[in-house]
Amino acid sequence: IPLNDKGKLDVRSAVGTDGFLYVMKDLGLKEPYVGTVSLVSGEIAEDLTSYYYISEQQNTAISLGVKIERDYSVGCAGGMIVQLLPDASEDSVAALEKIIGDMEPITTLIDKVEDSDADERLRLLSKEIFGRIPEEFAIEELEIKNMDWNCDCSFERLEKILMTIGERDLKEIIEEDGEAELVCQFCLKKYKFDKAHLEKILASI
């Protein structure tokens, strides 16, 4: 796909608008929560903003960016999500819209602090973003921390899923296949259960 009129990757044309955005959340319940909205623009940040507004009734501003180098490698990538508290004033909303509208691309801000160590990078980036907010809107920093990608899947959690299929289906798997493989729908990690493990699960039902 050719670059867009700004000389950037044309994500809108690549994604299109003929489809849906699915957001899956593990809330610790029996089944994950899944929200669905129609795509509105093909721009990922805009479609996520639409999801929050339609599915969760939450006014949200989202900025996402990926800087692609001339050799097509990823130079840097990042994003920002800003959500209004329920009692936010109209002045706060107007000020926020102006700040985000005037803000440099998120990748430009990340590029400025890229050479710092991880902890310092977060503080410098926070200063770059929030340092633009007028003094009348007092900023209270609650916490700054590195985010990690973790999944809480385990053999124990997958065992519980196997228990829910019932004795009859579990016996059928043991007799016909002798083993089972389950894949976590969040991190795609594979869990293999041999015949002895399946028989142990069957005995515990």
Token pair of 107 as six digits: 């990748």
Residue pair 63/103 in contact by the 8 Å Cβ criterion: yes
Q: Which pTM was predicted?
A: 0.71
| 80, 97, 100, 103, 146 from 91: Cα distances, Å | 21, 10, 14, 18, 31
Please tell me whether residue 25 adopts helix, strand or coil conformation: strand
According to the model, what pLDDT value does residue 191 have?
Answer: 95
Residue 92: the pLDDT is 77
- Pick from 103, 127, 130, 101: nearest CA to 113: 127
pLDDT at 21: 94
Helix locations, the chain, DSSP H: 11-15, 44-55, 90-102, 106-113, 118-130, 155-164, 167-176, 195-204
Contacts of 123 (CB under 8 A, 6+ apart): 144
Per-residue pLDDT of the chain (205 residues; tens, 9 = 90+): 888 887 778 888 888 889 999 998 878 777 778 999 999 999 999 999 999 999 988 888 888 988 888 888 988 888 888 888 888 887 877 877 787 778 888 888 888 887 777 778 878 887 877 777 777 777 778 887 777 788 888 988 888 888 888 889 999 999 998 899 999 888 899 999 999 999 999 898 8
